[in-house]
Structure 1
Amino acid sequence: MTSGSPDRSPRRSPEQDRARLVGLFVLGVAVVLLLSSVTWFSSDQAGVGIAQLLCGLVVAGVGAFLVRRADSRG
């Protein structure tokens, strides 16, 4: 390949990259919340487990929104 060949992938600005990384981080937090909620059910504290599941779902929705918004700006 030559150094002057056109790049077919769209370029993102640093702000878009940062926004996408924040969204992915929030999705990671949601995964941890969802997976670790099992421990509350196993310790007979189902109320806390349900609350953590709901919180994880909300955080996952926010993370997905942030990632999609960052990708759509590109």
Structure 2
Amino acid sequence: MPSPEPGSPLARRERLVGLLVLGIAVVLLLSSVTWFGSDRSGVGIGQVALGLVLAAVGGFLVRRAQPR
């Protein structure tokens, strides 16, 4: 799928979705500390892994929506 034209409604929506996904990733990464502190490190590792994947997807969407 080609990148949307800069300034188009699709590019704006893609950027906003990317920022939302990045925000969710930050919350997951910051709150994963509580799982490690409560001796449930398996859940913490899963949360960190999901946070990193979401951060990569969000970063990709935001960069793709930026004008060149």
Task: Please give the residue correspondences for 1:13-32 in structure 2 after superposition, counting only pairs within 5 Å.
Answer: 13-32=8-27
Q: CA RMSD in A?
A: 1.3
Name the structure where helix makes up a greater proportion of residues.
2
Any gaps of 5 or more consecutive residues in structure 1?
1-10
Percent identical pairs in the alignment equals 67
Deviations 1:20-73 (A, max 9, x none): 00000000000010001001001010111011001100000000001011114x
Any gaps of 5 or more consecutive residues in structure 2?
1-5
Instruction: State the TM-score, normalized to the length of structure 2.
Output: 0.86
Return the index of the structure with the highest Cα Rg. Answer: 1
Task: Please give the residue correspondences for 1:46-57 in structure 2 after superposition, counting only pairs within 5 Å.
Answer: 46-57=41-52
Runs of 4+ in structure 1 deviating by more than 6 angstroms, as ranges, are: none
The count of aligned residue pairs is: 63
